[in-house]
Amino acid sequence: MRSLINEEREMSNELTSIGNAGDGWEAASQDNSDRVLHGHLLKFADWRWTYGQEGTVLNIGTCLQALGTISAWVKWEDGKPAKHILMNGTAKIQREELGDDNELEWEAGPDGKPRDPWQYTKYVYLFEPKSAEAFTWSTSSSSGRQVVFDLASQIQRKRFGGRHVIPIVELGAAEMKTKYGRKSKPVLKVVSWLEPNHEPEVKSTPRQLINRDLDDAIPF
């Protein structure tokens, strides 16, 4: 009995020591903080939002917090991203500075034609507060980049005056007419705004996946 009591005391002391020094979760979460992708890779194609290698569908109408975005030139090799050159928002790198200009050496794209290995790409970091799952939407299409630009402009207008609000966006899809016929384009519709440590300012949303305890967010 004494041995058991001593073991319990030792374990309690160890847990107390860990608690005083931090439980390690915050440090562990920073191990891959320099990665471009965080959480599930989110994609949009053919009127659907999907994530993960199995292509799990994320339903239209799902609401997520939009925490931040970055831009990068991504070089593709053998159908996979091989190199990222991140933009800092001020010194923008032009395509002609990246090399790989010989189209005869380019790999074939989905349409069978040579495809530029360097793709200008936007990454949007999204967060579902109930499950604490993170998603990274990657888009290099002109329609996708326009969605990010429009969202960023809306956020900047809302933040005019110094209010640091975070948009809650609803995943959607819309029709887009192209020379190839009727296609779909992604939609990120702002349905409400979250101000950290304050009640959310709701516009109109059928689903309110709002985290009222969010301390901060990745700035745009």
pTM summary value: 0.73
Q: How far apart are CA 78 and CA 57, in angstroms?
A: 26
What tens digit of pLDDT does each residue of 130-157 get? 999 999 999 999 999 999 999 999 999 9
pLDDT of 25 over the 90 cut? no
pLDDT at 118 over 80: yes
Which residue reads 């979250």 in tokens? 194
β-pairing verdict for 118-128 and 166-178: unpaired
- 178 confidence band (pLDDT: 50, 70, 90): confident
Q: What are phi and psi of 132, to 5 degrees?
A: 60, 25
Residue of 25, 26, 42 lying closest to 124 (CA atoms): 42
pLDDT in tens, 52-62: 988 999 999 99
Give whole-number Cα distances, 164 to 147, 161, 181, in Å: 21, 9, 41
Using CA atoms of 41, 43, 49, 53 in order, give the dihedral in degrees to the nearest 10: -50
pLDDT for 124 equals 96
Average pLDDT of the chain to the nearest whole number: 79
The residues pairing with 166 across neighbouring beta strands, listed in sequence order, are 194
